[in-house]
């Protein structure tokens, strides 16, 4: 859920809430003799000599002295007036970072001004450093903030939170908090400021988290006020579906399905998230929910993030439902026009009961006959907007479809309550019986040939393997190219082994074909990019090699690894890395080697990389926080929830101004809702 670009009508961002990214202490002058490389200081000294030199680039070099030592200034951009203002004996006050230069300590492009001999006053506050946008200088940003602070002092009504709440939390008022963060008094420790735990900072973090929480809870309240069809499943299709399955649901699946069925029987829309580790079997639960919609004479739709996954879901659902007389159709962006047109017609007429597709589902031209249930798989790949758009497609007057959302990114409980405050959550915390945990080993690139030999042996023994190619960020094109090269090299190194290839740049048909051949066992080694990360289910595959594992996130590696270990045979995963490894990279790979538990891994990922990465930037506005930090400020979350509930019970007049202030208009929280 990235913030949408704010429309032109919205006022420019309030400088009060454009907060400094860091601070500098310019409250005292440091003698040149006491300078330490790597620190930011203010110095005052006389120009000894100023020269324009030509080394690799034209530069203005100025040598300063204050009797205690020397300092060089280096400018790469300068005017003639600047050079002329540097006559010998001129006194300068400079602020900047001290670095080790070719001729001793230096400052590059310091902020400076000329001063007289009589001492001039220094700052009595720490100096805020603002994030700069086009056309803004630090000076102007500081002036804007100061003007805004003066306005705030004159109009304290901008402090929106009721006094008793802030008092109970023992936090300062908004005015005090903003005055402090924009102009911290002399003597405030820079380290304390950087830690973000000062009460003033916590006051702002609290308000920011509250703004998000209010928006999400309001979204939930609004959803609950809407009406939906109660799905009674008079045709008993769910029961028939479940008894025709070749396996029984696990207890955890049963519990999740019970939650879903209870919701679906009500005349209000369900908005439920099913969280469960990779391989726990979310698809059947979703299919059982779809059966209830169809058994009630209505339609369901399942949206997947990739064509590969949509195609796979379509095949599973087809095989489960066809014997029951239920029609399942696939809608994908890359279908031949004619196939797509006839699918669209069948969906619109109600002839198709369950539609499976990618985001192509919310294109214009897709309309449903009577859509009662929207299922979104791997929701972290979508924005909330997209889910809500799909829901809107099913709206008939005031009746909206139920929503079931599935994710394999397990996140810790408080974070889930915050990130998914607009959803009800069910957790599937059990894997189907008979799985053996995946054995994971971490292997250096130097031993690649041994790994290739291992793959050879495994394939000759009748096992199937994935080879996941390096994550190349630059482009899908380069990724595809790397995958093709790897496939060629491996095919040469593995005589007699049938090697296949899937990557994002192939036509959908080629991808599907490769997957089908792999599933059928015709392909023994499937070389792939990370397109196979989500959802792909080939139970016979029992070996996976992941190249450049050190460059991937833990959650992503765990997802990838979840492609093996789906059958009864022992599976293994080889994490190939290119050294040298940083300490964090080493810890991450070790964590994956030592754990198969998605929740544990997610917790570590959160510690190591922060919530933005884990949640996926698009998933939630919380990944875009300005002041608050979900880990650091986790202890605020219970109070945030409580206050949000309290405020929404009273009146919700605060929601819009708080959202405007912190989120920049409520667009991203789904006006569509």
Among 161, 278, 347, 400, binds ligand ADP (CB under 6 A): 278
Binding-site string for ligand ADP from residue 390 to residue 429, where x marks contact by CB under 6 A and - marks none: ------------------x---------------------
Least spacing, CB of residue 307 vs ligand ADP, in Å: 17
Query: Which residue, 127 or 275, is less far from Mg ion as judged by CB?
Result: 275
**Token pair of 564 as six digits:** 């093996």
Q: Listing from the earlier edge strand, what are the strands of the sheet with 111-114?
A: 99-101, 104-108, 70-75, 58-65, 40-54, 91-97, 111-114
Looking only at residues 220 through 259 of this chain, which bind Mg ion when binding is defined by CB under 5 A?
none
Chosen from Mg ion, ligand ADP, none, partner binding at 281 (C-beta under 5 to 8 Å by type): ligand ADP
Binding-site string for ligand ADP from residue 504 to residue 543, where x marks contact by CB under 6 A and - marks none: -------------------------------x-x-x----
Least spacing, CB of residue 441 vs ligand ADP, in Å: 23
Q: Using the rule CB under 6 A, is 32 a contact of ligand ADP?
A: no
Q: Are 88 and 55 in contact (CB under 8 A)?
A: no
Residue with tokens 């990739």: 306
Q: Using the rule CB under 6 A, is 280 a contact of ligand ADP?
A: yes
Query: What's 342-397 look like in SS3?
Result: HHHHHHHHCCCCEEEECHHHHCCCCCCCCEEEEEECCHHHCCHHHHHHHHHHCCEC
Q: Using the rule CB under 6 A, is 470 a contact of ligand ADP?
A: no
Q: Are 104 and 41 in contact (CB under 8 A)?
A: no
Among 13, 120, 227, 247, binds ligand ADP (CB under 6 A): 247
Chosen from ligand ADP, Mg ion, none, partner binding at 432 (C-beta under 5 to 8 Å by type): ligand ADP
Q: Using the rule CB under 6 A, is 568 a contact of ligand ADP?
A: no
Query: Which residue, 70 or 599, is less far from ligand ADP as judged by CB?
Result: 599
Q: Using the rule CB under 5 A, is 172 a contact of Mg ion?
A: no
Q: Using the rule CB under 6 A, is 282 a contact of ligand ADP?
A: yes
d(CA 341, CA 461): 45
- Pairing assessment for the beta strands 70-75 and 104-108 based on DSSP bridges: parallel
Residue with tokens 């996954």: 309
Q: Using the rule CB under 5 A, is 673 a contact of Mg ion?
A: no
Residue span binding ligand ADP (CB under 6 A) among the ranges 138-146, 181-189, 232-240, 244-252: 244-252
Q: Using the rule CB under 6 A, is 31 a contact of ligand ADP?
A: no
Among 20, 128, 184, 276, binds ligand ADP (CB under 6 A): 276
Query: Which residue, 184 or 535, is less far from Mg ion as judged by CB?
Result: 535
Q: Using the rule CB under 6 A, is 633 a contact of ligand ADP?
A: no
Q: Using the rule CB under 6 A, is 305 a contact of ligand ADP?
A: no
Among 410, 535, 562, 616, binds Mg ion (CB under 5 A): 535
Query: How many residues lie near ligand ADP (CB under 6 A)?
Result: 18
Residue 236: other Cβ atoms inside 10 A:
11
Among 125, 212, 566, 588, binds ligand ADP (CB under 6 A): 566
Q: Using the rule CB under 5 A, is 281 a contact of Mg ion?
A: no
- Coil/strand/helix, residue 670: coil
d(CA 77, CA 156): 44
d(CA 377, CA 405): 6
Query: Which residue, 500 or 535, is less far from Mg ion as judged by CB?
Result: 535
Q: Listing from the earlier edge strand, what are the strands of the sheet with 541-546?
A: 439-444, 572-577, 541-546, 464-468, 525-528, 499-502
Least spacing, CB of residue 312 vs ligand ADP, in Å: 8
User: Which residue's CB comes closest to ligand ADP?
Assistant: 281
Half-sphere exposure of 106 (CA within 13 A, CB side): 15
Would you call 616 exposed, middle or buried from its count of C-beta atoms within 10 A (0-12, 13-18, 19+)? buried
d(CA 115, CA 96): 17
Q: Are 466 and 545 in contact (CB under 8 A)?
A: yes
Least spacing, CB of residue 468 vs ligand ADP, in Å: 17
Among 217, 250, 556, 620, binds ligand ADP (CB under 6 A): 250
Chosen from ligand ADP, Mg ion, none, partner binding at 566 (C-beta under 5 to 8 Å by type): ligand ADP
Among 249, 260, 411, 525, binds ligand ADP (CB under 6 A): 249
Least spacing, CB of residue 428 vs ligand ADP, in Å: 7
Q: Are 205 and 636 in contact (CB under 8 A)?
A: yes
Least spacing, CB of residue 410 vs ligand ADP, in Å: 11
Q: In 499-636, where does DSSP find H-type helix?
A: 508-519, 554-561, 583-594, 598-609, 611-615
Question: What is the rounded (10 degree) CA torsion for 222, 223, 228, 230?
Answer: -120
Q: In 169-305, where does DSSP find H-type helix?
A: 174-182, 190-195, 199-225, 237-244, 251-264, 282-295
- Pairing assessment for the beta strands 104-108 and 99-101 based on DSSP bridges: antiparallel
Residue span binding ligand ADP (CB under 6 A) among the ranges 62-70, 246-254, 327-335, 357-365: 246-254
Q: Site residues (CB under 5 A) for Mg ion?
A: 535
Q: Site residues (CB under 6 A) for ligand ADP?
A: 247, 249-250, 253, 276, 278-284, 408, 432, 535, 537, 539, 566
């Amino acid at each position: 859920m990235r913030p949408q670009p704010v429309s032109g009508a919205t006022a420019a961002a309030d400088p009060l809430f454009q907060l400094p990214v860091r601070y500098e202490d310019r409250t005292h002058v440091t003698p040149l003799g006491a300078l330490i490389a790597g620190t930011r200081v203010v110095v005052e000294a006389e120009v000894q000599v100023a020269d324009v030199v030509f080394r690799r680039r034209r530069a203005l070099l100025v040598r300063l002295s204050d009797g205690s030592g020397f300092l060089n200034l280096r400018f790469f951009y300068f005017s003639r007036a600047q050079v002329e203002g540097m006559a010998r004996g001129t006194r300068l006050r400079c602020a900047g970072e001290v670095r080790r230069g070719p001729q001793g300590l230096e400052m590059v492009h310091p902020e400076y001004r000329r001063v007289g001999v009589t001492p001039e006053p220094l700052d009595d506050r720490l100096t805020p450093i603002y994030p700069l946008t086009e056309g803004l200088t630090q000076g102007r940003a500081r002036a804007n903030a100061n003007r805004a602070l003066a306005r705030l002092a004159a109009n304290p009504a901008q402090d929106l939170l009721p006094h008793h709440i802030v008092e109970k939390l023992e936090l300062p008022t908004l005015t005090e908090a903003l005055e402090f963060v924009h102009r911290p008094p002399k003597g405030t420790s820079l380290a304390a400021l950087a830690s973000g735990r000062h009460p003033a900072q916590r006051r702002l973090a609290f308000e920011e988290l509250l703004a998000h929480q209010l928006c999400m809870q309001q979204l939930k309240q609004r959803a609950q006020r809407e009406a939906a069809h109660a799905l009674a499943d008079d045709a008993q299709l769910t029961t028939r579906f479940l008894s025709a399955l070749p396996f029984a649901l696990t207890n955890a699946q049963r519990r999740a399905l019970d939650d879903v069925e209870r919701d679906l029987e009500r005349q209000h829309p369900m908005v439920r998230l099913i969280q469960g580790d990779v391989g726990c079997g979310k698809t059947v639960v979703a299919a059982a929910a779809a059966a209830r919609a169809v058994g009630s004479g209505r339609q369901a739709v399942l949206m997947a993030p990739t064509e590969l996954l949509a195609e796979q879901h379509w095949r599973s659902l087809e095989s489960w439902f066809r014997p029951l007389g239920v029609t399942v159709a696939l809608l994908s962006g890359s279908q031949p026009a004619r196939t797509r047109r006839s699918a669209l017609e069948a969906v619109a007429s109600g002839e198709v009961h369950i539609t499976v597709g990618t985001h192509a589902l919310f294109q214009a031209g897709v309309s449903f006959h009577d859509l009662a249930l929207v299922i979104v798989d791997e929701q972290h790949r979508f924005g909330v907007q997209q889910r809500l758009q799909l829901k809107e497609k099913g709206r008939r007057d005031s009746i909206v479809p139920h929503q079931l959302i599935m994710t394999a990114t397990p996140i810790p409980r408080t974070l889930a309550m915050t990130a998914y405050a607009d959803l009800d959550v069910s957790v599937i915390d059990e894997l189907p019986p008979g799985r053996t945990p995946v054995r994971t080993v971490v292997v250096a690139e130097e031993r690649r040939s041994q790994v290739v030999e291992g793959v050879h042996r495994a394939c000759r023994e009748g096992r199937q393997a994935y080879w996941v190619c390096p994550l190349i960020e630059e482009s899908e094109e380069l990724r595809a190219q790397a995958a093709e090269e790897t496939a060629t090299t491996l095919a040469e190194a593995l005589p007699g082994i049938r090697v296949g290839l899937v990557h994002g740049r192939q036509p959908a048909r080629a991808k599907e074909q490769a997957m089908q051949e792999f599933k059928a066992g015709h392909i023994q080694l499937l070389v792939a990019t990370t397109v196979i990360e989500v959802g792909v289910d080939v139970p016979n595959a029992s070996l996976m090699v992941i190249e450049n594992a050190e460059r991937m996130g833990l959650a992503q590696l765990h997802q990838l690894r979840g492609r093996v270990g789906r059958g009864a045979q022992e599976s293994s995963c080889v994490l190939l890395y290119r050294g040298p490894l940083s300490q964090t990279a080493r810890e991450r790979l070790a964590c994956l080697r030592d754990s198969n538990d998605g929740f544990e891994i997610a917790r570590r990922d959160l510690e190591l990389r922060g919530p933005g990465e884990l949640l996926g930037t698009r998933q939630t506005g919380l990944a875009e926080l300005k002041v608050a930090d979900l880990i650091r400020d986790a202890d605020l979350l219970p109070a945030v929830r409580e206050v949000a509930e309290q405020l929404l019970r009273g009146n919700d007049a605060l929601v819009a101004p708080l959202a405007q202030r912190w989120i920049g208009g409520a667009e991203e929280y789904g006006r569509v809702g």
